[in-house]
Amino acid sequence: MKPLRERMISLKREGRKLLGCFPLYPPLALFHAMALEPVVMWGFKPFSPNTPKADRHVQNYVCSVGGHLVESVLSDACSLLDAIIVPTELLKGFDVVVCAPESHSAMSSARKVGALQCEKAEGLGYSTDLCSYARIQNRGWCCYGLDLRYKALSAMIERFSIDGIVFASNRSCKVYSVMQMDLMKLLMREHGIPAVMIDVDHADPRKYSAAKAFIQLEALLENIEAGRSTK
């Protein structure tokens, strides 16, 4: 961590503006074009090896990376940063009122006009490569809300006569991790089949228990057999 801190100090001496980025994949080229020096904060964990301050605000089921990021913000680890960019969901968690009418991509996705916008951009001469990511994201079922996810998985359950489901949660902030627990409970209730959530932490192996996962899977298999015997 010392080289990173020294690099940040060197940039500050050069008069550069340092922008801390909570997201793992921030638009680096955009920030560079704005004369900002982006610093991806996923490397800040050694700055704050323990999280006493973050534990007051962040639930224990949140991934450890998020906990260490919050600890960095609440401590002096971020004293070299001029500003921090964070997802709006995190701001809402701290009771911050968020108003971002300029969030054009989110509104386009919500209105299902992503493909139309891509076609317009291509018609103006922009490379299709620049639009491929948006095209994929707007069409992927994982990016849809709970209702459409439920509909897709329900169709699979009926088509393949599924007797039980195993969900895996890595405590990630990725879009497909959102609402997993609600989706699992809904499928269990509406289809009358058992399900289990294997909980791990993609950044902290200490929070994973193979023995616990084995017990969960054994219990699931027992519930499946019990359900079959009553049919």
Residue 77: predicted pLDDT: 67
| Inside any domain, residue 61 | yes
Quick one: average pLDDT of 118-146?
61
Whether the CB-CB separation of 41 and 21 falls below 8 Å is answered with yes
Q: How many domains, in total, are found in the chain?
A: 3
Give yes or no: residues 161 and 225 share one domain.
yes
| Inside any domain, residue 11 | yes
Say which CATH number the domain at 46 has: 3.40.50.11890
Judged by phi (left if over 0) then psi (alpha if -120 to 50, else beta), residue 95 lies in left
| Inside any domain, residue 110 | yes
* Domain enclosing residue 213, as ranges: 144-229
pLDDT digits (tens, 9 = 90+) for 37-92: 888 877 677 777 788 888 887 777 677 777 787 887 787 767 888 888 876 666 66
| Inside any domain, residue 98 | no
Give yes or no: residues 7 and 76 share one domain.
yes
| Residue with the larger pLDDT of the pair 110 and 223 | 223
What confidence tier does 222 reach under pLDDT thresholds 50, 70, 90? very high
In the three-class reduction of DSSP (H, G, I as helix; E, B as strand; rest coil), residue 40 is classed as strand
Whether the CB-CB separation of 21 and 82 falls below 8 Å is answered with no
What rounded mean pLDDT belongs to the chain? 78
pLDDT at 96 over 80: no
- Tokens linked to 14: 């050069």
Give yes or no: residues 68 and 45 share one domain.
yes
Give yes or no: residues 225 and 161 share one domain.
yes
C-alpha span between 109 and 138 (Å, rounded): 6
Give yes or no: residues 110 and 43 share one domain.
no
Predicted structure pTM score: 0.45
C-alpha span between 38 and 20 (Å, rounded): 6
Residue 140: predicted pLDDT: 47
pLDDT digits (tens, 9 = 90+) for 146-186: 788 888 899 999 999 999 999 988 776 665 666 788 889 99
Give yes or no: residues 73 and 108 share one domain.
no
| Inside any domain, residue 33 | yes
pLDDT at 135 over 60: no
Residue 153, C-beta contacts closer than 8 angstroms, at least 6 positions apart: 165, 183, 187
pLDDT at 141 over 50: no
| Residue with the larger pLDDT of the pair 217 and 227 | 217
Domain boundary among 78, 113, 139: 139
